[in-house]
Chains A and B, each alone.
Chain A
Amino acid sequence: MTVTDEAVPDDGPPPAEDLPVEDMPDRADRAHQADRVPEAPPVRAPSPRTRRGAPWLLTVALAVLLLLLTLASAGLGAYEISPGDVLSSVAHRVGLGGGELDRVPESVLWNVRFPRIVLALLVGASLGCAGALMQGVFGNPLAEPGVIGVSSGAAVGAVAVISLGLDFLGTWTVPAFAFVAGLGTALLVYSMSRSGGRTEVVTLILTGIAVNAFAGALIGLFIFLADTAAVNQITFWQLGSLSQATWPKVWAVLPCAAAGLAVAPFYARKLDLLSLGERPARHLGVDVERLRVVLVLVVALLTAAAVSVSGVIGFVGLVVPHLLRMAAGPGHRFLIPGSALGGAVVLLAGDLAARTVAEPAELPLGVLTALFGSPFFFWLLRRTRRRQGGWA
């Protein structure tokens, strides 16, 4: 029974000596580390290295774009304020010189424009980041809070609060309920749509349809129960607009969004490993169960933050991570913060367009993102199907 090395035909596999050295590089590596002439392959092939520059370039580009958009958003609108005045007023407020504007522009800037801009940034960053996380957790590039119904789930919580007139948590009531409802939905979808560590596209989309339908029914029910004032509020909110932005609203969603955005990047490498599948990830030391629970929680936080101010704004979480993945590779270390940044850019641009394109009227933001996002979703579906050779 017990067999030691002697029992084996001496050097085992036939003629290890006859092999050229390149065939046994592992041994060569350890044996002649010192005197070996490095004809050995380079540690990194050139192409990934050049691509490793892409994340930085993109980050800088997105950040610059974000600043320019912020400046434009602050200045443009029914009441125009020049960029110089905007900068001067900001400088004045943070105590770096500059000067206060007249009463009207100062008020427009600080009570109307800036809360709206900050809210757009928070919502966009939350949606983009939630999309990237969700795609990583599900191991599926089509996952997104809107598509799989987490947004609608969160919306049920928000509508319930408005309809029943609850306010025992003050301004935090809506985000809190949206979070609880979103979390419940996310857990439900997650447990229903996975099998063997993977989510089939069909299962995912069908689960999304079911969840969205059910959430829609609940929302309908709450609207039915609500009084006229509440119905107006709900309808307005459902269109997905930031036009009601105020500082209290910003403070209401800030904790949710900030917590989610701060935690997410720490799970980047684990998400990379998770793309190998659940078991291989566990073999590499990832506590997969805990990872899932934490990330589903973070996704629910982010979605709740976004939904509770602006209703269901779809496709941002789908499109942004996808484009970034194509440009800079699938590594989550860039993808997660990058998607937050990209989401903020997209939403800020979207909101700017929504309120300036049809001036003085204002397009609902949710309508605008869906208008551009849906065709992209079509394209993505087709491409995924082509790759997989069908859905079944």
Chain B
Amino acid sequence: MKKLNLRGLRTRTVRPGPVAPGDVLAEAADLHVRLGAREVLSGVDVEARAGEVLALVGPNGAGKSTLLGALAADLPAAGGVVRVHGRPVSDWSAPELALRRAVLPQSASLSFPFPVEDVVRMGRAPWAGRPEEEEDDAAVASAMAATEVTGFAARPFSALSGGERARVALARVLAQRARLLLLDEPTAALDLRHQELVLRVCRERAREGDAVVVVLHDLGLAAAYAHRVVILCAGRAVADGAPAEVFTDRLLSDVYKQPVEVFPHPRTGAVMVAPVRGS
């Protein structure tokens, strides 16, 4: 599955320029999104900056995945604008966007039983026929190692468990080596160890200067790994800031309609979040 694909059919695409830490790689301004008749997002402002892990949290149906979908250019804006690398998403072609952002969908599926390594290699497709194609093997190998899927590189994707599939999908997204990563619940199917692993990978990518936007349900993970958190509730962003600032008993209890307490870890002082349970 390599070279002969698009030659001659590709229109001229603009290569991504350099990215400096702090650059806004994805941005939603006064974003409204409708799904059918329902307005799922009503006036959301979000910025994802290079060098930062941004976590989107909030209760079910708050619009987290919709926001991610809008940033990924999957869903059209009914109002407001979404910009990626400084330009409205509608101004980019699909191949141009693919060089700039990678998206991990909530569930990974595959119509045909490709082996794991081939699936990860699909992440390199946007670079086919470009100088970066040289990095294909290295990008695939390091992405598979980072997500610990190297051990079953040869197995067909369809034979994997849910958690293994999720990691393979993540490996594919990492192999794309786009500067903006949009991850929809990358930890949902994973065990404790792999949840930590995945978020460490996110931090690592941010340290290398990428912008990472990640939808999370586990507030503890968000507190531990995100540089910044946006709390969504009923289609609006109700808070935006460092986890230590925005995670408060009051706000979280309100948003989740469930008493929540936020407290420092007795030993490390890290922010901990737990629901208040009856004794």
Contacts and interface: CB of A to CB of B under 8 A. Distances in A.
Interface of A: 1, 3-5, 7-9, 12-14, 16, 19, 23-27, 29-30, 40-41, 43-48, 51, 136, 139-141, 198, 265-270, 272-277, 279-280, 282-288, 325, 329-333
B192 interface: no
Interface stretch (B2-10, B28-36, B248-256): B2-10
A333 B1 contact: yes
- Of the four ranges (under 10, 10 to 19, 20 to 34, 35 or more), the interface on chain B belongs to 35 or more
A139 B114 CA distance: 13
A45 B95 contact: no
B138 A48 contact: no
A284 B125 contact: yes
A269 B97 CA distance: 18
B98 A283 contact: yes
Contacts of B9: 266
Nearest to A325: B112
B72 to A, nearest CB: 7
Contacts of B269: 9
Interface in B153-205: 153-154, 174, 176, 196-197, 199-201, 203-205
A48 B117 contact: yes
A265 B4 contact: yes
B245 interface: yes
B110 A285 contact: no
Given A29-B138, A265-B4, A331-B114, A284 B244 contact: no
Contact of A284 (B51, B53, B122): B122
B245 A3 contact: yes
A280 B103 contact: yes
A9 B151 CA distance: 34
A48 B153 contact: yes
Interface in B219-277: 224-225, 227-228, 240-242, 244-245, 268-270
A285 B97 contact: yes
B113 interface: yes
25 contacts: A1-B240, A5-B227, A9-B269, A13-B203, A13-B224, A13-B225, A30-B142, A41-B145, A44-B117, A44-B153, A48-B115, A51-B115, A269-B1, A269-B128, A273-B125, A275-B110, A276-B110, A276-B119, A277-B109, A277-B111, A279-B72, A279-B74, A279-B105, A285-B125, A286-B94
Nearest to B229: A3
Contacts of A9: 244, 269-270
A19 B17 CA distance: 34
B140 interface: yes
Contact of A280 (B105, B196, B197, B204): B105
Contact of A3 (B174, B205, B241): B241
A140 B200 contact: no
A155 to B, nearest CB: 28
A16 B98 CA distance: 31
B144 interface: yes
B141 interface: yes
Given A48-B118, A280-B105, A8 B227 contact: yes
A13 B245 contact: no
Contacts of A7: 227, 242, 244-245
A360 B142 CA distance: 65
A54 B14 CA distance: 38
A140 B142 contact: no
Given A40-B145, A285-B98, A24 B122 contact: no
Contacts of B2: 269, 333
Interface of B: 1-2, 4-7, 9, 22, 51-53, 72, 74, 93-99, 101-103, 105, 108-115, 117-119, 122-123, 125-126, 128, 137-138, 140-146, 150-151, 153-154, 174, 176, 196-197, 199-201, 203-205, 208, 224-225, 227-228, 240-242, 244-245, 268-270
A40 B141 contact: yes
Nearest to B98: A285
B112 to A, nearest CB: 4
Contacts of B201: 26
A245 to B, nearest CB: 33
B5 A41 contact: no
Contacts of A330: 112-114
Nearest to B21: A5
B111 A140 contact: yes
Nearest to A139: B111
Contacts of B270: 9, 14
A283 B102 contact: yes
Contacts of A333: 1-2, 4
A287 B141 contact: no
A285 B199 CA distance: 26
Nearest to B121: A272
Given A25-B145, A275-B112, A3 B105 contact: no
Nearest to B201: A26
B95 A285 contact: yes
Nearest to A33: B138
A243 B103 CA distance: 54
Contacts of B111: 136, 139-141, 198, 274-275, 277
A233 to B, nearest CB: 41
Nearest to A269: B5
B200 A45 contact: no
A43 B120 CA distance: 12
A4 B97 CA distance: 26
Nearest to A140: B111
Contact of B122 (A5, A41, A46, A276): A276
Contact of A285 (B4, B72, B94, B200): B94
A266 B5 contact: yes
B98 A41 contact: no
Contacts of B94: 282, 285-288
B138 to A, nearest CB: 7
